[in-house]
């Protein structure tokens, strides 16, 4: 086990107009589970591959434990990778696939057998050890790929979107298996995904990437409740945070004909972007005017899509709450998020809870 330290790391491909990754600084503690999350093309897989040694580093430094590994081959970095496509040898049995890397390192035969048996027990692969990959389901193949990484007993696990090829139900099961396995082994893990739900449920800390840069780092719930920018607010959370055009008038926030009393003077004036989570809007006798358009029934929850003052909004409600053709919604001022309209960065607020929303002419 080991920590991973990434210092001022960048990557520029020949002929590219701009760096794919730039100015990345990240310290991963020994035994920590870090998830890199962001949309396609944000640089998360490139960063992971630089840590693994599969991509050259254009600038900066990567340390695994006490060693600078910039110039080390992947085999010398003491890491194990699990890929999206499993990367199993089709002509080998499960046992042979899991043992292959150890054989290449001239590990004693008795130790190989012990490690493979222990990994198979942890991953419930015992009945399949003599099967070949074509005789396994997708989830079983992914467990074999994980077993091959586990037997290495590496300093760090690197996961590159390992669940993307699985169906939705199996992804949920495999998420739990990966998290339980990492906690049991206590091995440092760096995990890449574009699925924000997967990221939220797995991570000790999230690293949200955007355009090759780190947008925010923090515990999943901290990022959910205090997004650093409109990008993070719109990417983390399902449904995404509602982002509305609004205006600050002293201690009042104007949204069309409606006014929200903030109870303090924010460090901003004029146009702002107002963020409201779908679950923080509550039906009330008075408040923001909401006109529903359509409803998504999700069983335990319903998402009501509509408009407030002409701007699109999603509302999360208990299925027992009635939805009318026109509604009023209240929101506590402490639940509001304000962002700069130009930079998209969060504006510091100190709103008091429980302040009412009123409508004005």
**DSSP secondary structure string for all residues of 190-237:** EEEES-HHHHHHH-SEEEEEETTEEEEEE-HHHHHHS-SBHHHHHHSS
| Residue 356 CB burial class (10 angstroms; 0-12, 13-18, ≥19) | middle
Would you state the pLDDT for residue 16?
Answer: 86
Would you place residue 359 in the very low, low, confident or very high pLDDT band (cuts 50, 70, 90)? Answer: very low
Could you give the percent of the chain with pLDDT greater than 90?
A: 68
Over residues 149-153, mean pLDDT: 90
- For residues 360 and 338, which has the higher predicted lDDT (pLDDT)? 338
Q: Could you tell me the two tokens for 138?
A: 């997708």
- For residues 267 and 6, which has the higher predicted lDDT (pLDDT)? 6
Measured CA distances, 147 to 169, 181, 223 (Å)? 21, 10, 32
Would you state the pLDDT for residue 349?
Answer: 63
Would you state the pLDDT for residue 356?
Answer: 43
Q: How far apart are CA 129 and CA 149, in angstroms?
A: 16
Report yes or no: 338 and 296 within 8 Å, Cβ to Cβ: no
Tens digit of pLDDT for each residue in 271-314? Answer: 999 999 999 999 999 899 999 999 999 998 999 999 999 999 99
Quick one: fold of 4-230? Rossmann fold (3.40.50)
Residue 99 pLDDT > 80: yes
Tens digit of pLDDT for each residue in 168-211? Answer: 888 888 888 889 889 988 999 999 999 988 999 999 999 999 99
Average pLDDT, the chain: 90
Would you state the pLDDT for residue 165?
Answer: 81
Would you state the pLDDT for residue 261?
Answer: 83
Tens digit of pLDDT for each residue in 302-350? Answer: 999 999 999 999 999 999 988 988 999 998 888 899 999 999 999 876 4
Return the domain boundaries, the chain. Answer: 4-230, 244-359
Would you state the pLDDT for residue 17?
Answer: 87
Residue 358 pLDDT > 80: no
Q: How far apart are CA 78 and CA 60, in angstroms?
A: 20
Tens digit of pLDDT for each residue in 232-254? Answer: 999 999 899 999 999 988 888 89
Q: In residues, how long is the chain?
A: 361
DSSP conformation class of 321? S
Report yes or no: 84 and 78 within 8 Å, Cβ to Cβ: no
Over residues 39-45, mean pLDDT: 93
Question: Using alpha carbons only, what angle is made at residue 155 by residues 6 and 55, rounded to the nearest 5 degrees?
Answer: 45
3-state secondary structure of 174: helix
Q: What's the CA dihedral at 71, 73, 76, 79 to 10 degrees?
A: 100
Question: Is the pTM of the predicted complex or chain greater than 0.85?
Answer: yes
Question: Using alpha carbons only, what angle is made at residue 194 by residues 190 and 199, rounded to the nearest 5 degrees?
Answer: 55
- The CB density around residue 346, as the number of other CB atoms within 10 Å, is 20
Q: How far apart are CA 286 and CA 326, in angstroms?
A: 12
């Amino acid at each position: 086990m080991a920590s991973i330290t990434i210092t001022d790391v960048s990557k520029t491909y020949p002929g590219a107009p701009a760096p794919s990754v730039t100015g990345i600084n990240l310290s991963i503690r020994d035994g920590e589970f870090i998830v890199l999350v962001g949309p396609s093309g944000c640089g998360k897989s490139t960063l992971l591959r630089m840590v693994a040694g599969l991509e050259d580093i254009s600038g900066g430094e990567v340390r695994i434990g006490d060693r600078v590994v910039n110039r080390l081959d992947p085999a010398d970095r003491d890491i194990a990778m699990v890929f999206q496509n499993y990367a199993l040898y089709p002509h080998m049995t499960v046992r042979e696939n899991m043992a292959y890397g150890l054989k290449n390192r001239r590990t004693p035969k008795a130790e190989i057998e012990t490690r493979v048996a222990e990994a198979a027990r942890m991953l419930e692969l015992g009945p399949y050890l003599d099967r070949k990959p074509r005789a396994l389901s997708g989830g079983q193949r992914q467990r074999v790929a994980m077993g091959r990484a586990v037997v290495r007993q590496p300093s760090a696990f690197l996961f590159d979107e390992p669940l993307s090829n699985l169906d939705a139900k199996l992804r949920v099961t495999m998420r739990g298996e990966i998290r339980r396995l990492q906690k049991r082994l206590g091995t440092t893990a760096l995990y890449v995904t574009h699925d924000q739900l997967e990221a939220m449920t797995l991570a000790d800390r999230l690293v949200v990437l955007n355009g090759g840069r780190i947008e925010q780092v923090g515990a999943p719930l901290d990022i959910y409740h205090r997004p650093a920018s409109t990008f993070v607010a719109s990417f983390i959370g399902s449904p995404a945070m509602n982002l509305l055009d609004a205006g600050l008038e002293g201690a009042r926030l104007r949204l069309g004909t409606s006014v929200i009393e903030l109870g303090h003077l924010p460090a901003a004036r004029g146009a702002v972007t107002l963020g409201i989570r779908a679950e923080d809007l509550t039906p009330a006798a008075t408040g923001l005017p909401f006109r529903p358009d359509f409803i998504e029934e999700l069983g335990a929850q319903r998402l009501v899509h509509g408009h407030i003052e002409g701007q699109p909004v999603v509302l999360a409600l208990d299925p027992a709450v009635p939805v009318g053709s026109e509604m009023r919604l209240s929101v506590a001022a402490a639940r509001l998020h304000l962002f700069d309209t130009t930079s998209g960065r969060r504006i510091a607020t100190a709103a008091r809870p429980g302040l009412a929303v009123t409508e004005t002419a």
